[in-house]
Amino acid sequence: MDRIAVRGGTPLKGEIAISGAKNACLTLMPAALLTDEPLTLTNTPRLADIKTMSELLESLGCEVAPLQDRRVLAIGTERISNHTAHYDIVRKMRASILVLGPMLAREGEAIVSLPGGCAIGARPVDLHLKAMEALGAVLELEDGYVHASAPNGLTGAVVDLPFASVGATENALMAATLAKGESVIRNAAREPEIVDLANCLIAMGAKIEGAGSSEIRIQGVPRLHGATHRVIADRIEAGTYMIAAAITNGDIVLTGVTRDLVGAFADKLEEAGVLVEDVEHGVRVRRAGEHLKPVHIETEPFPGFPTDLQAQMMALLTLAEGDSEIEEKIFENRFMHVPELSRMGAHIEVHGGAAMIHGPAHLTGAPVMATDLRASVSLVLAGLAAEGETIVNRVYHLDRGYERVEEKLSACGANIRRLSE
């Protein structure tokens, strides 16, 4: 099991190219199920989760051809030979549920294993299932699988989401493109990944208005055709490396992104004393002055502060001059990085969904354990600022969402290396 060793203290300088967005790619890939023509995705990130989604699609009968060193995925779904997404793949990655909507819309049947919970919470899929029922599907739950059927196809409807769920919005949006008549998704998630999915579906012939707003209107069409679509840049990866610049008091340019992709996050960083500026080919990040300032953060659906950058921001705030507070309002258990950061010398108290971070702390290296994707990278970030060496165990969590993290950081001067067992 790989580990990563980090020795802190070096201000990072240089450039980091931001990869395609994991969470855009994981919904764009199942969109290929909606047509019997090839969907080609470019700027795809080389991540474990992308390989898992490729395996899942291949298990349904898709042909997934990685091209140009896996930077391009050509996905052909001439016919779907298997309608069942099996537990042994679904349990590895919650995003597997995103084959439900497109498979149901294309085939009139989908049998998908219910995802187990995961480290950051129960994460049910009830909103996905309600959306499919609203579009006319009949669902039965048995032996851990949801059997969805719509033998006469789906029918356009109003899908009211009680919570602006990203995944439920994506499933409903994909299913509605082939439903008969008009659908409206109310309280839709507004993340850039939703807009990217809508743009790809429109390129495939779908009729969609309002993506990026909380109301998306879809006119169903009889069929979709193939397309080529470039995956947007990964705003969470970008935000993570912005923290790497700030936590080491470095000066980094992130290429392939603009500041508005991380708007609320960049605003909070600036409140904490970090400059985030659009430059010619990306975004330049460095501290405004010597010290970092404490801030109050609440995680919210887009365009609010992203929950996927909460753990990384917490690592930075351990160095701020004063008390910061973070309220995690999206997931019920997303503070598992706290005990590990505390072992490195951070002073953090958790009360329910709120964490108080007392700074500045003097961070010292330690062997630490990653528990989920974003928690693991927050430990690497803390290691970049800690005195001595930090060993991050269970790095497979990191590899799910960060492409070659040790290469990208060491290219900017970080003392970081992968210990392959």
Contact criterion met (CB below 8 Å) for 214 and 187: yes
Which of the stretches 166-174, 177-185, 226-234, 271-279 binds ligand EPZ when contact is defined by CB under 6 A? 166-174
Give the number of other CB atoms < 10 A from CB of residue 383. 28
Report helix, strand or coil for 146: strand
Name which position in 9, 124, 181, 367 contacts ligand EPZ (CB under 6 A). 124
40 binds ligand EPZ (CB under 6 A): no
Q: Who contacts 374 (Cβ-Cβ below 8 Å, separation ≥6)? A: 236, 308, 309, 310, 311, 312, 334, 337, 401
Question: Which residue number, 124 or 367, has a Cβ lying nearer to ligand EPZ?
Answer: 124
As measured in angstroms, the least distance from the Cβ of 391 to ligand EPZ is: 22
166 binds ligand EPZ (CB under 6 A): yes
Question: Which residue number, 127 or 285, has a Cβ lying nearer to ligand EPZ?
Answer: 127
Report helix, strand or coil for 230: strand
Residue nearest to ligand EPZ (CB): 167
Altogether, the residues listed in the chain come to a count of 421
316 binds ligand EPZ (CB under 6 A): no
CA–CA gap between residue 238 and residue 132 (Å, rounded): 33
Question: Which residue number, 303 or 345, has a Cβ lying nearer to ligand EPZ?
Answer: 303
Question: Which residue number, 83 or 397, has a Cβ lying nearer to ligand EPZ?
Answer: 397
* Interactions with ligand EPZ, residue window 145-164 (CB under 6 A): 163
330 binds ligand EPZ (CB under 6 A): yes
* DSSP letter assigned to residue 305: B
Write phi, then psi, for 343 (nearest 5 degrees). -65, -20
- As to burial, measured by CB atoms within 10 angstroms (0-12 exposed, 13-18 middle, 19+ buried), residue 342 is middle
331 binds ligand EPZ (CB under 6 A): yes
CA–CA gap between residue 113 and residue 91 (Å, rounded): 8
Question: Which residue number, 94 or 106, has a Cβ lying nearer to ligand EPZ?
Answer: 94
> Across 124-232, where does the E strand assignment appear?
138-142, 145-149, 158-160, 182-186, 207-209, 215-219, 227-230
Contacts with ligand EPZ by CB under 6 A: the residue count is 24
As measured in angstroms, the least distance from the Cβ of 222 to ligand EPZ is: 29
Contact characters 84-103, ligand EPZ, x per CB under 6 A: ----------xx--------
**Identity at 220, one-letter amino acid code:** G
Q: What angle do CA 29, 77, 188 make, to 5 degrees?
A: 40
167 binds ligand EPZ (CB under 6 A): yes
Q: What angle do CA 189, 192, 197 make, to 5 degrees?
A: 85
Name which position in 123, 217, 293, 358 contacts ligand EPZ (CB under 6 A). 123
As measured in angstroms, the least distance from the Cβ of 166 to ligand EPZ is: 4
Question: Which residue number, 123 or 418, has a Cβ lying nearer to ligand EPZ?
Answer: 123
* Interactions with ligand EPZ, residue window 392-421 (CB under 6 A): 401
Name which position in 12, 127, 276, 414 contacts ligand EPZ (CB under 6 A). 127
Contact characters 347-376, ligand EPZ, x per CB under 6 A: --------------------------xx--
As measured in angstroms, the least distance from the Cβ of 326 to ligand EPZ is: 15
Report helix, strand or coil for 294: coil
Contact criterion met (CB below 8 Å) for 22 and 401: yes
**Identity at 256, one-letter amino acid code:** G
CA–CA gap between residue 216 and residue 166 (Å, rounded): 13
β-partners of residue 129 are none
307 binds ligand EPZ (CB under 6 A): yes
β-partners of residue 215 are 186
Question: Which residue number, 77 or 378, has a Cβ lying nearer to ligand EPZ?
Answer: 378
Is 200 labeled as catalytic in the residue annotation?
no
As measured in angstroms, the least distance from the Cβ of 334 to ligand EPZ is: 8
Name which position in 126, 160, 209, 215 contacts ligand EPZ (CB under 6 A). 126
CA–CA gap between residue 201 and residue 208 (Å, rounded): 8
As measured in angstroms, the least distance from the Cβ of 49 to ligand EPZ is: 8
Active site residues: 118
Contact residues toward ligand EPZ (CB under 6 A) are 22-23, 26, 94-95, 121, 123-128, 163, 165-168, 307-308, 330-331, 373-374, 401
